[in-house]
């Protein structure tokens, strides 16, 4: 099948410093998704702490149109495109998730952010319905080839998955969480449609598990994603389709891509893989893992995907920085080579 679409390699980064943007451009990446600034909310291995020049997005910290335009201009001056915000911090959406006092104020801030993104011509807002930093995401590390390190999860190593998370006074039902989520969509999606901004939903990580620490994990399966997309149907709602999470589920990721690609529900893609599945897996290099990278890119080409793939979690290589320049550079180069080969052959 011959397509006229372009699969582009992008990068997520908190730092928008000139050297960082130069490096990304030198890799041949084209698109930037900026991470929110608060690293304390995500105490994992991907903090990118050296981010003096950034775009702050958080509770009571919604960037103005002028600030968004300045960030966009800074990125464009480096020969790149500011395509979106990678995700919202839990501090911004947590009160909505739990239907707590402060939910209305949080909704107002998120809708303001959506409107500002539209005015600044930044088309995508990634988000998740998963309290990062509140429930365990990983439990350790794994040795990869040559002594590189990848993050790992083993459910048996979670201290007490039934103990309520800090700050919770009771366990929440899945039905209540779906109600809260639907109310969020009913408020935010009409604003997104008016602003011309696409909301892209990320899976819970790790997936499959129905509840942990008293918190239902809605976005844990293909079926639940189909439900999420159908709650408030909108052309401005899509998936931040994390291949690693669907691989952790034990799904055939090419089937997943076809399922949501045929419905035009893929906003952008996190390109990573793991070895194993829930309840025990570890992350690895993009050329290793459960799925075949070339087959995945061929599938993207076949379904006519015209968008961005992002190296998400990358292993830690010898001599790497906090942002993992070496591993990220390797991953971007590898993906670009596969993409260019596949798209050249198809044309």
Provide the mean pLDDT of the chain: 93
Q: What burial class does residue 258 get, using C-beta atoms within 10 Å of its C-beta: 0-12 exposed, 13-18 middle, 19+ buried?
A: middle
Tens digit of pLDDT for each residue in 72-97? 999 999 999 999 999 999 989 999 99
Contact 201, 240 (CB under 8 A): yes
**Helix (H) / strand (E) containing 161:** none
- The token pair that represents 120 in the structure block: 């600044």
Tens digit of pLDDT for each residue in 3-44? 456 999 999 999 999 999 999 999 999 999 998 866 565 545
The pLDDT of residue 47: 58
CA distance 138 to 118: 35
Q: 241 φ, ψ to 5°?
A: -80, 100
Tell whether the model's pLDDT for residue 199 goes beyond 50. Answer: yes
Tell me the mean pLDDT in the region 317-322: 93
Contact 301, 5 (CB under 8 A): yes
Closest CA to 336 of 5, 46, 10: 10
CA distance 215 to 240: 21
The pLDDT of residue 41: 58
CA distance 199 to 189: 8
CA triple 190-191-196, angle to 5 deg:
100
The pLDDT of residue 346: 84
- The token pair that represents 321 in the structure block: 């920085």
CA distance 284 to 273: 6
CB proximity list for 38: less than 8 A, separation 6 or greater: 58, 89, 91
CA distance 143 to 147: 6
CA–centroid distance for 50 within its chain? 20
- 1 — pLDDT class (breaks 50, 70, 90): very low
Contact 263, 134 (CB under 8 A): no
Please tell me the pTM assigned to this model.
Answer: 0.95
316 secondary structure, DSSP code? B
* CATH classification (class only), 8-346: alpha beta
39 secondary structure, DSSP code? G
Tell whether the model's pLDDT for residue 271 goes beyond 60. Answer: yes
Tell whether the model's pLDDT for residue 347 goes beyond 90. Answer: no
């Amino acid at each position: 099948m011959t397509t006229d679409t372009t699969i582009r390699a992008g990068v997520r980064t908190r730092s928008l410093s000139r050297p960082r943007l130069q490096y990304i451009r030198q890799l041949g990446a084209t698109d930037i998704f900026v991470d929110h600034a608060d690293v304390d909310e995500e105490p994992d291995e991907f903090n990118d702490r050296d981010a003096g020049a950034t775009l702050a997005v958080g509770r009571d910290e919604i960037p103005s149109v002028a600030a968004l335009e300045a960030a966009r201009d800074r990125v464009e001056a480096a020969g790149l495109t500011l395509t979106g915000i990678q995700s919202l911090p839990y501090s911004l959406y947590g009160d909505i998730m739990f239907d707590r006092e402060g939910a209305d104020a949080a909704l107002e801030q998120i809708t303001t952010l959506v409107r500002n993104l539209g005015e600044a011509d930044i088309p995508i807002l990634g988000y998740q319905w998963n309290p990062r930093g509140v429930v365990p995401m990983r439990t350790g590390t794994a040795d990869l080839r040559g002594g590189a390190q990848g993050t790992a999860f083993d459910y048996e190593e979670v201290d007490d998955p039934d103990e309520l998370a800090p700050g919770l006074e009771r366990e929440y039902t899945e039905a209540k969480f779906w109600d809260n989520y639907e109310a969020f969509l009913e408020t935010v999606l009409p604003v997104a449609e008016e602003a011309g901004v696409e909301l892209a939903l990320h899976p819970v990580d790790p997936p499959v598990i129905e509840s942990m620490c008293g918190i239902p994990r809605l976005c844990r399966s293909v079926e639940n994603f189909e439900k999420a997309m159908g709650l408030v149907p909108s052309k401005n709602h899509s998936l931040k389709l994390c291949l690693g999470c669907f691989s952790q589920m034990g799904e055939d990721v090419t089937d997943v891509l076809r399922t949501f690609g045929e419905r035009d529900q893929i906003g952008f893609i996190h390109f990573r893989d793991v070895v194993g599945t829930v309840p025990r897996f570890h992350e690895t290099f993009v050329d290793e893992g459960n799925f075949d990278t070339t087959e995945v890119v061929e599938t993207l080409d076949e379904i006519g995907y015209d968008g961005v793939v992002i190296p998400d979690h990358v292993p830690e290589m010898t001599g790497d920085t906090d942002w993992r320049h070496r591993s990220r550079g390797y991953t971007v180069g590898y993906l670009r080579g596969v993409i260019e080969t596949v798209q050249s052959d198809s044309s």
